[in-house]
Amino acid sequence: MKMFRLNASILVLIMFGLGLQIAFSHSFLANLVVCCFCLGYLLLSAADLKKLGLVLLFTLPLALGTWWSFIKFSTQDPWQNALLYTSRLYAYLLLGASLLLSYSLEKILFSLSYRLKLSTTFVYGFLAAANLLSSLKKQLQVIRYSAYSRGTKYHFYRPGIYLRLVVTALSWSEALAQAMTAQGFSEGYPRTRVFSDSLPKWQWGLLFLSLIGYLALVIWT
Amino acid sequence: MIQLEIKDLTFTYQKGQKPVFERLNFAVEPQTWSLLVTPSGKGKSTLFKLLSGLYPQYGGHISSGGVFLDGYALSDVVSFERAKRISLLFQDPSRRFNMKNLSEQLTFLLENLQLPPEKIKARKQQVLRELGLEDLRARPFNQMSGGQKQQAALACALASDSEIILLDEPFANVDHDSKKRLLLLLKHIKETTTKTVIIADHDPTGYFELLDFCYEFSAQNDRLIKVPKQKYVTRETFPTITPKSLNHGDLQWHNLKLTRQAHTLLKPNTFTLPKGQIGLLSGANGAGKTTFFYALCQLYPLTAGKITFNGQKPPRFRKSRWAKYVSLMFQDATDQFICATVGEEIALAAKNTLAPKYWDKSRITTALEQLGLSELTGRSIYHLSGGQQKRLQLLVVLIMAQPVLLLDEPFASLDQAMVKKALALLTASCQALNTSILVISHQRNNITTKMDYELRLDNQQLVFLGGQHENVSP
């Protein structure tokens, strides 16, 4: 079966567009519809269901906490508020999951850069930082051992170790910037692009429809 | 044909400081292959960064003259235009990758150079095939060994197909067989193209066939002059080590087994590191030498077996105590330092040394002089050259004087004279303090004579070379 996937840029726009509306709306039903649509999309797009399950499981205590605090402490309409805020939490969660579980960080950034003119300096800088993050954990171990073998200790609560980590990260970023320049990366100049990004016109329509549809639902309920 | 020239250049790192170069003149001779010979810390990497236009953009100050590409000031040329013509392999390539893996990195580079997408794929495949790196194309950089990263960086330097290629210590961490393979490839490039290549390397062995001549600084330091290659370059040799009889020792590993994900790195192995002797740990890039060192320091989990010091197992969760027995000199020098300046680093080591009688003030002062560091005590560690960082790192580790020292590429970026001095310090303190020392070094020249035995990590086995020894069971 061919996977059904919306374009990453469209997903980002839907996420922001709906996200903004959800923040101001008071419609439980509208949030529920968003959740259902997102779940449907995640199933269709063959996202990693195990990851989705884990995400839902981890947020369960948060959702219960939200629910419980409204039931217990809300001065008016406790059930209404509990439903609204819990559904809002899941609507946000599933909107985010629809984007992040169907595309890698690179693909999202490349698509945004191509479709929505996000600056390539930001895209490649962000990617470089993301790639560095995995090295930083190892670096922390290295820093602690090098301190031990010099007769000093870095405890996790001592600021010294974080300062050292920051200094390391700064020197890495300088080295990386030099390397990117040496490899011909030039800010504000055209580059060619291997990445292909298909965006059928109807997906723009879908974006428009989803935003209007949500608004209509909110007004109607 | 491209003309790259330095005219009357005076360059300082900071205004008011002594210039690194004063009124320097140099014209890169097109279509020649040369070796740049300078003593460690005399501005070799700085020169390469000037020639590729990274300085003064990323630091330093030009107070007279400049670098010119076909008559244009190089600093005025946009970086993608520079990169089309000049490519640079950095001395420390491990922190120079902004993408996740080699395939993505090559795409990034070729997109910057505005190569049409249909050609990018073909160029990538060609480079990966020529360098024999197809297996590494999708491996994340953080899972590559130091030597593998260096080969990946070479792939990037060659992929841009630029006319001038500057290689700053291209083989410092590369194993003997890979170096031979890559030198053959470079020779093929030399025979089939009209490129201009300048290599800087403190270990000049193996380049003989490849080079036309060497460059060195003139007596007044104002010119780079051509000298015959015979002056510096020798043919590649592979000195072996005749093992001495091993002393007993404190650090022992017993049936030690290491794995990375599903792959075995080291099959069960037992050995005792002898005291008062220096061993060489050799093996191909990516064999797991550094990981093995990490395991001995408890920075990498053991799959099976145990490591003991004087019969005691490392106390769990107490790395701080273990670090008093076993010290590691990291491959990347900046990992070692915890202070801001050279002087502070030395002072901290002198304060906490485990052998205060041996490393007294006068010995430290002499060692600083021998390693050419005594004038740099006020300098920030990040403003040292690669070779200076290595020397400081070695000295700091020696002063701390743990009973077991594991040194990962301690001689990289050191010129041959400095290698000898560093080795003299190492052997002297090894014998005086009865230290167990194990060294990873891909460079063998001038080093093997001071080594007492060799362990080779090959096909997941750690083998004692040069005869059967009761101390080792593969």
DSSP string of A81-126?
HHHHHHHHHHHHHHHHHHHHTTS-HHHHHHHHHHHS---HHHHHHH
Within a domain: B473: no
Q: Chain B contacts of A194, Cβ < 8 Å?
A: 107, 111, 117, 120-121
Within a domain: B302: yes
Would you call B160 an interface residue with chain A, using a CB distance cutoff of 8 Å? yes
Interface test with B, best of A146, A174, A197 (most B CBs within 10 A): A146
**ipTM of model:** 0.88
Whether residue A207 sits in one domain with residue A154: no
Judged by CB atoms closer than 8 Å, whether chains meet at A141 and B111 is answered as no
Whether residue B201 sits in one domain with residue B143: yes
Within a domain: A2: no
Judged by CB atoms closer than 8 Å, whether chains meet at A185 and B116 is answered as no
Domain CATH for B81: 3.40.50.300
A-contacting residues in B 308-327 (Cβ below 8 Å): 319-320, 322-324, 326-327
- At B316 the pLDDT is 59
- At A1 the pLDDT is 47
Q: Chain A contacts of B116, Cβ < 8 Å?
A: 192
Interface test with A, best of B52, B95, B113, B294 (most A CBs within 10 A): B95
B57, B80, B100 member nearest A189 (Cβ): B80
Within a domain: B364: yes
Tell me how far CA of residue B132 lies from CA of B102, B151, B179, B263, B338, in angstroms: 13, 10, 12, 21, 38
Q: Is the pLDDT higher at B357 or at B286? A: B357
A146, A183, A190 member nearest B336 (Cβ): A146
% of chain B at pLDDT higher than 70: 97
Structural domains counted in chain A = 2
pLDDT digits (tens, 9 = 90+) for A11-53: 999 999 999 999 998 889 999 999 999 999 999 988 888 999 9
Whether residue A103 sits in one domain with residue A155: no
Whether residue B32 sits in one domain with residue B132: yes
Q: What is the span of the domain harbouring residue A125?
A: 120-182
Within a domain: A1: no
Domain final residue, candidates B179, B203, B231: B231
Within a domain: A93: yes
How many contacts, defined by CB atoms under 8 Å, are there between A and B? 148
Whether residue B294 sits in one domain with residue B183: no
Q: What is the span of the domain harbouring residue B385?
A: 251-464
Average pLDDT, integer, range B255-282:
92
Strand partners, B86: B164
Whether residue B372 sits in one domain with residue B255: yes
Within a domain: B52: yes
Task: Give the nearest chain A residue to B92 (CA atoms).
Answer: A175
Summary mean pLDDT of chain B? 90
% of chain B at pLDDT higher than 90: 64
Would you call A198 an interface residue with chain B, using a CB distance cutoff of 8 Å? no
Whether residue B159 sits in one domain with residue B43: yes
Whether residue A105 sits in one domain with residue A15: yes
Would you call A126 an interface residue with chain B, using a CB distance cutoff of 8 Å? no
Whether residue A144 sits in one domain with residue A73: no
Judged by CB atoms closer than 8 Å, whether chains meet at A192 and B107 is answered as no
Within a domain: A85: yes
Within a domain: A53: yes
3-state secondary structure of A7: coil
Tokens of B59: 């630091």
A148, A172, A190 member nearest B95 (Cβ): A172
Structural domains counted in chain B = 2
Banded model confidence at residue B14, pLDDT cuts 50, 70, 90 = confident
pLDDT digits (tens, 9 = 90+) for B86-125: 999 998 888 899 999 999 999 999 999 999 999 999 999 9
Within a domain: A65: yes
Within a domain: B197: yes
Within a domain: A211: yes
pLDDT digits (tens, 9 = 90+) for B129-162: 999 999 999 999 988 988 899 999 999 999 999 9
Would you call A127 an interface residue with chain B, using a CB distance cutoff of 8 Å? yes
pLDDT digits (tens, 9 = 90+) for A43-96: 998 888 899 999 999 999 999 999 999 999 988 889 999 999 999 999 999 999
Whether residue A92 sits in one domain with residue A50: yes
Q: Chain A contacts of B96, Cβ < 8 Å?
A: 175-176, 178-179
Would you call B54 an interface residue with chain A, using a CB distance cutoff of 8 Å? yes
Would you call B98 an interface residue with chain A, using a CB distance cutoff of 8 Å? yes
Whether residue B109 sits in one domain with residue B56: yes
Whether residue B263 sits in one domain with residue B173: no
Within a domain: A191: no
Whether residue B221 sits in one domain with residue B349: no
Alpha-carbon distance B151 to B256, whole Å?
30
Whether residue A105 sits in one domain with residue A12: yes
Whether residue A159 sits in one domain with residue A51: no
Whether residue B285 sits in one domain with residue B224: no
Average pLDDT, integer, range B237-249:
86
